[in-house]
């Protein structure tokens, strides 16, 4: 459905997006995730036609809609896309029904067909009872549903979401994630969703693209990114909680893990970063043969288990264990490591093994 080739966007000397290549299958739910400033919103704006690429091309269903090398782009209204922003951008002087009907008027749909379509999408979003109310008379969550209804009313083939849930409270965000997936299935459209929240990314997506500094670190299914991260950044960005990275280096006949001497259980001839999953770590109150002394930071319940975090200088480790410890902040605790790391990355963050 969407093909992106060497897509680049520069603002003066700064490259916000750097030669991206990506193919998005029809009907998929792709989430673009990454920290602030990684280029995900800029990429979405180029897909919507709100920004012109500096270089590279964007194709929808085999048709070029933007060509940065030639300096042209098809205007947003002719792209067969729908877009929902972080701010709902509803017309305050129009009713809920009026807001949803507006893009259909612009498309010159017949009046009877417009009314039928408005009724259909309001029902799909569960807000038919709000049809005659104004945006300032409804809640933020209801306004978001109106914005989504307005987006899907013209039946676009591609739905674009720019952090649409960031203004909602935690409980409503969870509910709206379910609603968005239901709408995605009901419309059959290809969806591109931008967020900095990796929990949203991993729970909603059929495909995830992790962005960093304007480049794609890894693209794949959510489970694949968690099971086989290709870079240290991906390892520490995805997952709940994400994986731990421990600096390790050879020392004599053994290894140093964050400065702690341990017996060598795998060959290593240079400094590296060893990845350990939180569920593979244990926490004890006394030192052992494969432990790292840490300062106790916090513990929080998580699905019947406890997530324990410790710190040592810049190093932060998290373990998921069965029972909550009786420690106080600042106490020395010991994180016990398994003999083999789940993966090794070099100091540049590239996968070694």
Q: Are strands 14-24 and 2-11 parallel, antiparallel or unpaired?
A: antiparallel
The per-residue pLDDT for range 274-296, each reduced to its tens digit, is 999 999 999 988 888 889 999 99
pLDDT of residue 123 exceeding 80: yes
* SS3 category, 44: helix
Provide the residue count of the chain: 353
DSSP H helix total and E strand total for the chain: 8, 21
**Class of residue 291 by CB neighbours under 10 A (exposed 0-12, middle 13-18, buried 19+):** buried
Model confidence pLDDT, tens digit, residues 248-282: 999 877 888 998 888 877 888 899 999 999 999 99
Total-model pTM: 0.86
Residues 6+ apart with CB under 8 A from 91: 98, 99, 102, 135
2-231: CATH number: 3.40.50.300
Edge-to-edge strands of the sheet including 29-33? 81-84, 158-162, 190-195, 29-33, 207-212, 215-220
pLDDT confidence of residue 134: 94
Confidence of residue 353 (pLDDT cuts 50, 70, 90): low
pLDDT value of position 334:
93
Above 70 in pLDDT, residue 301? Answer: yes
What was the pLDDT predicted at 224? 93
Encode pLDDT of 308-330 as tens digits: 999 999 999 999 999 877 888 88
Please report the pLDDT score of residue 254 as a whole number. Answer: 83
Mean pLDDT, the chain, whole residue set: 90
Confidence (pLDDT) at 166? 81
Q: Which residues pair with 33 in a beta bridge?
A: 195, 210
Separation between Cα atoms, residue 242 and residue 167, nearest integer Å: 24
**Domain ranges within the chain, ordered by starting residue:** 2-231, 244-345
**pLDDT 10s digits, 46-101:** 999 999 999 999 999 889 999 999 989 999 888 889 888 877 788 999 999 999 99
CATH superfamily of 244-345: Nucleic acid-binding proteins (2.40.50.140)
């Amino acid at each position: 459905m969407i093909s992106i080739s060497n897509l680049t966007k520069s603002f003066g000397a700064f490259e916000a997006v750097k030669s991206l290549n990506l193919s998005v299958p029809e009907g998929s739910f792709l989430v673009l995730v990454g920290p602030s400033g990684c280029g995900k919103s800029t990429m979405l704006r180029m897909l919507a036609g709100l920004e012109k690429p500096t270089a590279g091309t964007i194709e929808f269903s085999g048709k070029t809609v933007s060509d940065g090398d030639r300096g042209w782009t098809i205007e947003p209204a002719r792209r067969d896309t729908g877009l929902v922003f972080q701010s709902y951008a509803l017309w305050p002087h129009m009713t809920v029904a009026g807001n949803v009907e507006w893009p259909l008027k612009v498309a010159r749909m017949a009046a009877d067909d417009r009314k039928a379509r408005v009724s259909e999408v309001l029902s799909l979003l569960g807000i038919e009872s709000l049809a005659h109310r104004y945006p300032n008379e409804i809640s933020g969550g209801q306004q978001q549903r109106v914005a989504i209804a307005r987006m899907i009313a013209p039946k676009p083939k591609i739905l674009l979401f720019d952090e649409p849930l960031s203004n909602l409270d935690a409980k409503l965000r969870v509910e709206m994630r379910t609603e968005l997936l239901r709408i995605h299935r009901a419309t059959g459209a290809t969806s591109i969703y931008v967020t900095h929240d990796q929990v949203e990314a991993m729970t909603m997506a059929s495909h995830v693209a992790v962005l960093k500094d304007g480049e794609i670190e890894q693209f794949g299914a959510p489970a694949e990114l968690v099971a086989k991260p290709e870079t240290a950044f991906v390892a520490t960005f995805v997952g709940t909680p994400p994986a731990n990275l421990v600096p390790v280096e050879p020392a004599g006949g053994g290894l140093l893990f964050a400065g702690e001497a341990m017996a060598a259980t795998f060959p290593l001839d240079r400094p590296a970063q060893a990845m350990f999953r939180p569920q593979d770590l244990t926490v004890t109150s006394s030192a052992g043969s494969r432990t790292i002394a840490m300062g106790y930071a916090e513990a929080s319940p998580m699905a019947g288990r406890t997530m324990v975090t410790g710190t040592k200088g810049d190093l932060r480790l998290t373990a998921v264990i069965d029972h909550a410890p009786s420690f106080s902040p600042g106490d020395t605790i010991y994180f016990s490591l398994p003999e083999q790391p789940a993966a090794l990355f070099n100091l540049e963050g590239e996968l070694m093994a």
